[in-house]
Amino acid sequence: FDAKRQQQLRGSAAGRETGLFGVPELSCPEGFQEAQDKALQESEQLVQKACSTPPGPETVMIFDQLSDGLCRVADLADFVKIAHPDFAFREAAEEACRNIGTMVEKLNTDVELCQSLRRLLADEIVMSSLDPETRRVAELFMFDFEISGIHLDEEKREKAVNLNVKILDLCNEFLTGTHLPNKIDKHVLPEHIRYNFTAEGNYLQVAGLHADCPDDLVREAAYKIFLYPNAEQLSRLEELLASRNSLAQLVGYDTFAHRALQGTMAKNPETVRQFLEKLSDQLSKRTQKDFEMMTKMKMKLNPQNSKLMPWDHPYYSGVLRAERYNIDPGLYCPFFSLGACMEGLNSLFSQLLGISLYAEQTQRGEVWSEDVRKLAVVHETEGLLGYIYCDFFQRPDKPHQDCHFTVRGGRLRENGEYQLPVVVLMLSLPHSTRGAPTLLSPGMMENLFHEMGHAMHSMLGRTRYQHVTGTRCATDFAEVPSILMEYFANDYRVVNQFARHYKTGQPLPKNMVSRLCQSKKVCAAADMQLQVFYAALDQIYHGEHPLKKSTTEILKETQEKFYGLPYVPNT
């Protein structure tokens, strides 16, 4: 980024001390308790205010303030509990998430609070005087009450709150369990592949699927060991699914899927089922062709064992792409330095939206790792729109997932000022080396564009109420702006503006861009078929209960019906 722009925004910020994201309390883990207590105290005052305010636009404003005060702590804690390098911070954030989550569930079943909103919705004269946005937000708050069981008697409402808290805990435990490595006696594996795994005494640790490894045996071993059944995880999953089903039925839905899909574009499980089956039917012939191509490639490279297995799909589809279009990532990386990609995004946003990104100096204590960068998002006529914290680089204990977190939603404050949105983009990019800057593979570049799509959605979805700001929209619409950005990342007219060789400054040749775009169509049906299988499995798990078979038997059946590669026993 341009040093002058950085200088302009730097000012004298560096000398002052603050806490995470500029929240003074969060300079130490204990600060989460303080932030949480403050939010809970404020929420009690706002509940009393809501209950004593006559029906009108102010009711909706108070509800939104209430939601904002709790979300500001919960959303921030949601990010810190998975990304902070310090365990004490992660633990304190986890505790704050749980406590605020419990408070939210209690408020969603607070009869008196709900009555104040009901009075507004029932008052036709007042309702007709509200603007469409205020009306919609009032209806959405009512919807939250309804799906939480506000209509139940006191005993059942309490049961709903307890189920919600139990579900939150089970979710956390289950997700933590999915990342844990599995250990195996090293003598079980052939000596020549052991070096691929971390040794621990007589054991080897398998911490992932090694999907990109060229050795078929390493991928097979990783798949069978990493996905080996874990009794605790299985019982957590069964308990989680049963609890979600109990909650859904308690508050009046047939299944959890019905409850989760209400308010989305898809609307109900039946629409989703028809969509997935229709899509699967249309994909099946193309998927078969893709699997045949992969099988041929496997036969060519490994004639002894040419049966295509689930651990082969990601690897051989990559080999086919690379071979057919000569798109070895090593050829592309030098043209996609992180600096060039960020300049590309800056130029694209400037042309499309009149927006520029400026690097801004952070205060001491504001960020959780020294390589996190803060960007100010500035519009040519409207000025500062918000902040993006870029947590882009690998570090020990950092989850390997690319994602976007809302830390604070935008809204119009009571004093007429706009509360600026704050988001984090998390990627796992390699650090720069002495001889070269951080270089991105085409896939990493596309992910960067995708996540930036979410960030821009957060910056530009400027609403009066934080309850519907940015990515707080129907869950199946939230991916539209980010997927749209992937199309820009795959268009020569865009890529040509920024892809430059980091040593020579030479632009990326046009035929290399077209080869890259063409290669994305290779095995696209099989890749989509895998997603259809995941989606179908999700629908069945959250459909009618009790489930007719164990979760693993359902996985086996669904995999055979919707995917086409054989289920591997004991996974």
DSSP-assigned letter for residue 563: T
| pLDDT number for residue 15 | 53
- 71 lies in some domain: yes
For residues 85-99, average pLDDT:
96
Q: What is the 3-state secondary structure (H, E, C) of 424-464?
A: EEEEEECCCCCCCCCECCHHHHHHHHHHHHHHHHHHHCCCC
Which residues does 562 contact at the CB level (< 8 Å), separation at least 6? Answer: 276, 280, 529, 532, 533, 536, 537
Closest CA to 89 of 459, 433, 397, 444: 397
Residue 164 predicted with pLDDT over 70: yes
- Chain segment 1-28, per-residue pLDDT in tens: 444 444 444 444 445 789 999 999 999 9
Q: What is the CATH number of the domain that holds 120?
A: 1.20.1050.40
Number of Cα atoms under 13 Å in the Cβ half of residue 316: 24
The two structure tokens encoding residue 19: 């806490």
3-state secondary structure of 191: helix
The neighbour count for residue 158, using CB atoms within 10 Å, is 14
Is-contact 543 255, C-beta < 8 A?
A: yes
> Looking at 79, 114, 149, which one is the last position of a domain?
149
For residues 458-474, average pLDDT:
95
Closest CA to 78 of 92, 64, 68: 92
- 299 lies in some domain: no
- Which residue shows structure tokens 């051989």? 316
- 363 lies in some domain: yes
Whole-angstrom distance between the N-terminal and C-terminal Cα of the chain? 47
For residues 543-556, average pLDDT:
97
For residues 247-260, average pLDDT:
97
pLDDT confidence tier of residue 418, bands split at 50, 70 and 90: very high
| pLDDT number for residue 12 | 43
| pLDDT number for residue 329 | 80
Which member of 94, 220, 360, 451 is catalytic?
451
pLDDT confidence tier of residue 476, bands split at 50, 70 and 90: confident
- 137 lies in some domain: yes
DSSP-assigned letter for residue 131: -
- 315 lies in some domain: no
Q: In 333-444, which ranges are E strands?
A: 355-360, 373-379, 383-393, 403-408, 411-412, 418-419, 422-429
> Looking at 132, 149, 166, which one is the last position of a domain?
149
**102-128 b/e with 16+ CB inside 10 Å = b?**
ebbbbbbbbeebbebbebbbebeebee
Is-contact 114 145, C-beta < 8 A?
A: yes
Q: Tell me which residue range forms the domain holding 481.
A: 333-507
Q: What is the CATH number of the domain that holds 342?
A: 3.40.390.10
> Looking at 119, 149, 179, which one is the last position of a domain?
149
| Rounded Cα distance, 518 and 492, in Å | 12
For residues 33-52, average pLDDT:
98
The neighbour count for residue 270, using CB atoms within 10 Å, is 12
Closest CA to 258 of 249, 244, 268: 268
Task: Give whole-number Cα distances, 218 to 173, 194, 223, 305, 390, in Å.
Answer: 29, 9, 8, 14, 34
| Whole-structure pTM value | 0.90
Domain count, the chain: 2
| Rounded Cα distance, 21 and 407, in Å | 9
- Chain segment 337-356, per-residue pLDDT in tens: 999 999 999 999 999 999 99
| Rounded Cα distance, 236 and 171, in Å | 9
Q: 510-519 vs 313-325: helix axis angle to the nearest 10?
A: 150
Task: Give whole-number Cα distances, 285 to 33, 280, 466, in Å.
Answer: 57, 9, 46
> What is the overall mean pLDDT for the chain?
95
- 14 lies in some domain: no
| pLDDT number for residue 84 | 97
- 372 lies in some domain: yes
3-state secondary structure of 244: helix
Closest CA to 510 of 523, 535, 534, 493: 493
- 378 lies in some domain: yes
Peptide bond connecting 546 to the previous residue in cis, omega within 30 degrees of 0? yes
**174-203 b/e with 16+ CB inside 10 Å = b?**
eeeeeeeebbbeeeebeeebeebbeeeeeb
| pLDDT number for residue 67 | 97
DSSP-assigned letter for residue 173: H
| Rounded Cα distance, 397 and 421, in Å | 27
DSSP 278-333: HHHHHHHHHHHHHHHHHHHHHHHH-TT-----TTTHHHHHHHHHHHHHT--HHHHG
- Chain segment 188-207, per-residue pLDDT in tens: 999 999 999 999 999 999 99
Q: What is the 3-state secondary structure (H, E, C) of 55-120?
A: CCHHHHHHHHHHHHHHHHHHHHHHHHHHHCCCHHHHHHHHHHHHHHHHHHHHHCCCHHHHHHHHHH
For residues 39-68, average pLDDT:
98
Share of the chain above pLDDT 70, in %: 97
DSSP-assigned letter for residue 54: P
Q: Reply yes or no on whether 105 is catalytic.
A: no
